[in-house]
Amino acid sequence: MRPPRRGSRVKSFVHPVNGSLVTTLKEHFRIIVRPRGGMDVRRISQIKAAQLAPAETEGDIVCPNMVQNIFVVSTPTEKNAHAYTRVEALLVGSARYEVKSYLAAPNNTCKGIMWGVDLDFDHNQLRDMIIQPRNPKALEVKRIKDTPRSSSFSTDSKRQMDVCYACGRLGHHADVCPAPEKTICRGCGTASPAEDHECSPKCTPAEGLISQRTRPASNASKSSSVTGGGSGRPKKHLRRRGRPAAKDMIRTCQERPRGGAPPRQPAAAAGPVDALTPEGALARVSGSRRPPGLIESSRTLQSNPKISQLEQENVQLRTALDELRAQFESLRKSCSSVPPTPAPGELPAEAPAPARSAKERALAAPVEGERELEEFKSEITNSVMDLRESVNSLQGALMTLVETVTALTKRVDTLETWVGRRLQPRVLGSG
């Protein structure tokens, strides 16, 4: 490490333990050194600390974190900690790498932003007002440049692992990426994608297509992007940091498997996450700049067993409705073919009796003629009653069929409306 001024240099041994050794020394001060310019901490065997005597650095430990591509310095002395935070560059052979060093908060702390801080207060005054017995959980405070904001550290936090936007690997940020020139598409994994590259998002841990909601990429980059999900933190906090938790992404991939080609997905590029809920590997993985089409969304919805069951019920209801309509038409035709019913007191006109001779008329008995007339009247009356009962029963059956057909028509219309809305593509906005 190189400070702003010159001085003697003392070698400090490097422990390649990915920072796990430093986390066990709770009473030590931790300094995070973030190298820039594509420096790979795995290739560094030792570093030099300036302005510190050999006796002063005996308890200091330097650990390269291979995952996050940073150095973690642990020292029990506050003087040494402030000396490390003044480092500006690292010299590796003839190469010079700019670094950013800062004092890290303990693992069981979290950071917050305070707004509206008076610019007239210096660091010491601000620290005295915040770090006091009335705020036992407040550990440290510092001003953010020359703005009316300051950040404070307190206990109770959740550590997260980040993903690099440049190389696509987990564990480190893009600003400390050891290979920033080796870019990959974060959606499909294509190395060095072109500016007009379009891809189908894939789950890197599961090596399969995911079904998740997506949003168009930003104008600055046409490659897909990764947004956080499932970390248990507020969405507003995830948008501010802009980096997801890697362990949460892996857990989401294991707990919510999906088939098919955004999402959501509950799609090669779009679909219900929630169906409407999130069933892919990552919480959200965007594909190309162009929003997904209706075909991909329909395939994903058809793979849903609930949608398939509703479609089958819709087909069955349509078939039953067609049968009822056919019966209704046949009954209507049969009713139209029934002759008009005569009034109860009316009798059909009798056909004129054939002409008989005087001898035949004289021989016909008047009693027999009256008996035949009574039998004819009774038969006509019975026929009229039977026809009236048949017509009444047909009218009742027709009313029942009309009510059934009306109810089925309303149900089919409701199902068609619901299925039509579900089949429409759902695309998240860029916001």
> Looking at the predicted structure, is the pLDDT value of residue 289 above 50?
no
What is the per-residue pLDDT across 331-388, written as a single tens digit (0 to 9) for each?
878 777 656 555 545 545 555 555 555 555 555 555 566 777 788 888 888 888 888 8
How distant, in Å, are the alpha carbons of 320, 333, 407, 410 from that of 316?
6, 26, 15, 15
In which band, very low, low, confident or very high, does the pLDDT at 294 lie, cut at 50, 70 and 90?
Answer: very low
Per-residue tokens: 117: 């801080």
> Looking at the predicted structure, is the pLDDT value of residue 425 above 80?
no
Strand (E) or helix (H) holding 335: helix 305-337
> Looking at the predicted structure, is the pLDDT value of residue 269 above 50?
no
Question: Quick check: helix, strand or coil at residue 156?
Answer: coil
422 closest CA partner among 240, 224, 290, 271: 271
Which of the pair, 416 or 146, is modelled with greater confidence? 416
What is the per-residue pLDDT across 27-38, written as a single tens digit (0 to 9) for each?
788 888 888 888
Q: Contact 123/70 with Cβ under 8 angstroms? A: no
Amino acid 362: pLDDT: 53
> Looking at the predicted structure, is the pLDDT value of residue 263 above 60?
no
Share of the chain above pLDDT 70, in %: 55
CA–CA gap between residue 98 and residue 90 (Å, rounded): 6
Amino acid 99: pLDDT: 87
Q: Tell me the residue type at 36.
A: R
Amino acid 16: pLDDT: 45
> Looking at the predicted structure, is the pLDDT value of residue 52 above 50?
yes
What is the per-residue pLDDT across 390-407, written as a single tens digit (0 to 9) for each?
888 888 888 888 888 888
How distant, in Å, are the alpha carbons of 105, 247, 287, 306 from that of 205?
32, 11, 17, 28
* Mean per-residue pLDDT over the chain, rounded: 67
115-129, 165-179, 209-223 — which is least confidently predicted? 209-223
> Looking at the predicted structure, is the pLDDT value of residue 246 above 60?
no
**Ramachandran region, residue 395 (left: φ > 0; alpha: ψ -120 to 50; beta: rest):** alpha
Which of the pair, 319 or 274, is modelled with greater confidence? 319
Q: What are phi and psi of 418, to 5 degrees?
A: -65, -45
Q: Contact 179/38 with Cβ under 8 angstroms? A: yes
> Looking at the predicted structure, is the pLDDT value of residue 178 above 70?
yes
Q: Contact 428/215 with Cβ under 8 angstroms? A: yes
Amino acid 341: pLDDT: 56
Query: CA triplet 79, 82, 84: central angle to 5 degrees?
Result: 110
3 closest CA partner among 138, 148, 150, 101: 101
Amino acid 108: pLDDT: 74
Mean pLDDT, residues 286-300 taken together: 47
CA–CA gap between residue 275 and residue 301 (Å, rounded): 9
Amino acid 248: pLDDT: 47
Share of the chain above pLDDT 90, in %: 0
DSSP letter for 170, please. B
Spatial CB neighbours of 182, under 8 Å, sequence gap ≥ 6? 166, 167, 191, 192
What is the per-residue pLDDT across 58-99, written as a single tens digit (0 to 9) for each?
778 888 888 888 888 888 888 888 888 888 888 777 888 888
> The dihedral of CA 29, 35, 36, 38: what is its sign?
negative
Per-residue tokens: 404: 């059934």
Mean pLDDT, residues 35-61 taken together: 72
CA–CA gap between residue 429 and residue 214 (Å, rounded): 9
In DSSP notation, 381-427 reads HHHHHHHHHHHHHHHHHHHHHHHHHHHHHHHHHHHHHHHHHHHS---
251 closest CA partner among 161, 186, 184, 156: 161
In which band, very low, low, confident or very high, does the pLDDT at 109 lie, cut at 50, 70 and 90?
Answer: confident
Q: Contact 262/212 with Cβ under 8 angstroms? A: yes
Q: Contact 22/74 with Cβ under 8 angstroms? A: yes
What is the per-residue pLDDT across 306-322, written as a single tens digit (0 to 9) for each?
788 888 888 888 888 88
pTM: 0.35
